[in-house]
Structure 1
Amino acid sequence: MKLASYNNGRRDGQLMLVSKDLTKTVAVPAIAHTMQQLIDAWDLLQPQLQELYEALNDGQLDNAVDFDETKCLSPLPRAYQWADGSAYVNHVELVRKARNAEMPETFWTDPLVYQGGSDCFIAPKADIELASEEWGIDFESEVAVITDDVPMGVSVENAHKHIKLIMLVNDVSLRNLIPGELAKGFGFFQSKPSSSFSPVAVTPDELGDKWQDSKVHLPLVTHLNSELFGRPNCGVDMTFDFSQLISHFTKTRPLGAGAIIGSGTISNYDRSAGSSCLAEIRMLETIAEGKPATSFMRFGDRVRIEMFDENEVSIFGAIDQQVVEYKA
């Protein structure tokens, strides 16, 4: 099943059912008005939506209209929880190597995580508005899952049962602000502005055998200013799968329905696949040449993040955003 949230002038948008090929859509107010309402009562409402989804794909719904990604908000325009991990530890290792820092062995067994702002996500086609290029503007191409209610202390073996939807992420980062914030010993805040998510969220079964072991086994394709930047495979070199991340996050607290859990920047040891953020390219340049040659994003730069099935059909739609100067 594929779902989206159309911009209807309200904070949480209008829940939309989207066809498998992303060509048709229909509102489902008789079942749920918003994505959060759906997630809150998933076990009750999902079977009803599944029946409509099959009818939509069979062309049996007379009220279906053409799907328009530009009308989409992030699937959850705001959420009760947005927690991002760093599941690709080779990425962390690379960043530390570039500054000649040893990586603690615990990083391979204990996931890194930060709690992001979730009160205001950016729409997948909306501009990324920032006040200064000097902040070191970077994109981070990732995968995320949406859960139902997850109890505290859930086991790795049971965590996957709580994954209801999958989507893509652009976890915008301001690299030049990060060192100063981390030096305070209290984590990210100003250096992590609003994130954005793909136009469409999909149930795991939509990925078929490409969803295994709580991982997406497909490349995540990023273009920067229309040039291919990277297509690392999300199922390769993922040290912590989503079940492990969810289990880790719930060690001391439950997760409420609609919690979003991110994978962190997709990264493969095989560097021929490219990268999913500018920081990684700059680190590779620093290791090879002693200093980075690639700049961070400037106003006017555009990033596009997308994932395709084996027939090169877009699965989630595209995050396609331009960085622009924010003026109050």
Structure 2
Amino acid sequence: MKLATLRNGARDGSLYIVSKDLQTAVCVTSIAENLQWALEHWSAVEPQLQAHYTQLNNRALDDIIQFSHCPLESPLPRAYQWADGSAYVNHVELVRKARGAKMPDSFWSDPLMYQGGGDSFLGPKDNIPLLDPDWGLDFEAEVAVITSDVKLGVSTAAASQAILLITLVNDVSLRNLIPNELAKGFGFFHSKPSTAFSPVAVTPDELGNAWDGAKLHLPLYSYLNDALFGKPDAGTDMTFDFPRLIAHAAKTRTLTAGTIIGSGTVSNCDRTVGSSCIAEKRMLEKIATGEINTPFLQDGDKVKIEMLDNKGLSIFGAIEQRVVMQDETL
């Protein structure tokens, strides 16, 4: 099942079911007004939503619209909790190596995670605002899961049952603001502006054998100005899988339905597949030649993030965003 949120002027938008081929959609607000409500009442509404999905794919519904023309929010336009991990530890090791920092052994056994701003996400086609080019604007292509209610101290095995939906992410970062924030010892804030998610979130069954209950085993494609930037496999070199990340997030708190847990930048040890963010490519350049050649995002740059199934068809739709310089006084 594929779910999307259409922009309607309200904060949480309107819930729509989207066809498997991403061509058509139908409003299901009679079942659940928005995705957050559906997640909070999942056991009751999921069978009804699934029935509509089947009918939509069989062209047995009225009031069908063309999905490509829809004004979209991220599937959850806001979330009570957005927590992003760093599950690809080789990526962390690479970035630290480039700046001459030793990698603590604990990084391989205890996940890194930060709590992002969940109150306002960008839509998958929205512009990425740029206030100051010197801040080092970067994209980060990731996978994320959306959970049901999760109990405090949940086990990794039980956490796997909490995964309701899967989506793609552009975790926008301001790289040059990160060092000073981390030096304060209190984590990210200014360096992590609003995040964007793919047009649809999908139930795990949509992924077939590519989803093993813990990892998504397909390449994640990133494009910068229409040129392929990277296509690392999301299931390869993922040190901490999603149940492990959920259990980590719930170590000292409960997680409410609609919590989003991100994988962090998808990265493979095989560097021939490219990177999922500019920072990683810059670090590889520095290690290889001592010089950095790739600039961070500039006004007018275009970013695209997408995942294809084994038949070459888009699963989640594409995040397609343009960087637009903003007036700082707005």
TM-score range, shorter chain: over 0.9
TM-aligned CA deviation for residue 63 of structure 1? 1.7
Q: Which residue of 1 aligns with 2:240?
A: 240
Q: Which residue of 1 aligns with 2:322?
A: 322
Q: Which residue of 1 aligns with 2:189?
A: 189
Aligned equivalents of 2:213 and 2:265: distance in 1?
Answer: 19
Q: Which residue of 1 aligns with 2:74?
A: 74
Aligned equivalents of 1:131 and 1:142: distance in 2?
Answer: 24
Aligned equivalents of 1:271 and 1:288: distance in 2?
Answer: 12
Q: Which residue of 2 aligns with 1:49?
A: 49
1:8 matched to 2:11? no
**Deviation >4 Å, runs of 4+:** none
Q: Which residue of 2 aligns with 1:91?
A: 91
Aligned equivalents of 1:260 and 1:37: distance in 2?
Answer: 15
Q: Could you tell me which amino acid in structure 1 is paired with residue 31 of structure 2?
A: I
1:123 matched to 2:130? no
3-state SS of the aligned residue for 2:298?
A: coil
Q: Could you tell me which amino acid in structure 2 is paired with residue 165 of structure 1?
A: L
Contact 1:223 1:230 in 2 (8 A): yes
Q: Which residue of 2 aligns with 1:63?
A: 63
TM-aligned CA deviation for residue 291 of structure 1? 2.3
TM-aligned CA deviation for residue 69 of structure 1? 5.9
Aligned equivalents of 1:290 and 1:30: distance in 2?
Answer: 59
TM-aligned CA deviation for residue 213 of structure 1? 4.1
3-state SS of the aligned residue for 2:188?
A: coil
Q: Could you tell me which amino acid in structure 1 is paired with residue 163 of structure 2?
A: I
Structure 1: any 5+ residue segments left out of the alignment?
A: none
Q: Deviations over 1:36-57 (max 9, x none)?
A: 0100100110011111111111
Q: Which residue of 2 aligns with 1:265?
A: 265
Aligned equivalents of 2:239 and 2:158: distance in 1?
Answer: 18
Q: Deviations over 1:191-221 (max 9, x none)?
A: 0000000010000000000001410000000
Structure 2: any 5+ residue segments left out of the alignment?
A: none
Aligned equivalents of 2:311 and 2:28: distance in 1?
Answer: 29
Aligned equivalents of 2:181 and 2:148: distance in 1?
Answer: 32
TM-score (norm 1): 0.99
Q: Could you tell me which amino acid in structure 2 is paired with residue 34 of structure 1?
A: N
Aligned equivalents of 1:112 and 1:213: distance in 2?
Answer: 21
Q: Which residue of 2 aligns with 1:173?
A: 173
Matches within 5 A, 1:281-292: 281-292=281-292
Contact 1:213 1:241 in 2 (8 A): no
Corresponding pairs, count: 328
Aligned equivalents of 1:86 and 1:49: distance in 2?
Answer: 33
1:22 matched to 2:29? no
Aligned equivalents of 1:117 and 1:23: distance in 2?
Answer: 31
TM-score (norm 2): 0.98
Aligned equivalents of 1:136 and 1:286: distance in 2?
Answer: 16
TM-aligned CA deviation for residue 68 of structure 1? 2.5
Percent same amino acid among aligned pairs? 61
Q: Which residue of 2 aligns with 1:294?
A: 294
State the Cα RMSD in Å: 0.8
Q: Deviations over 1:238-294 (max 9, x none)?
A: 000000000111010010010000000000000111000000000001111112111
Q: Could you tell me which amino acid in structure 1 is paired with residue 156 of structure 2?
A: V
Aligned equivalents of 2:186 and 2:65: distance in 1?
Answer: 48
Matches within 5 A, 1:208-247: 208-247=208-247
Aligned equivalents of 2:114 and 2:19: distance in 1?
Answer: 34
Aligned equivalents of 2:241 and 2:177: distance in 1?
Answer: 29
Matches within 5 A, 1:274-285: 274-285=274-285
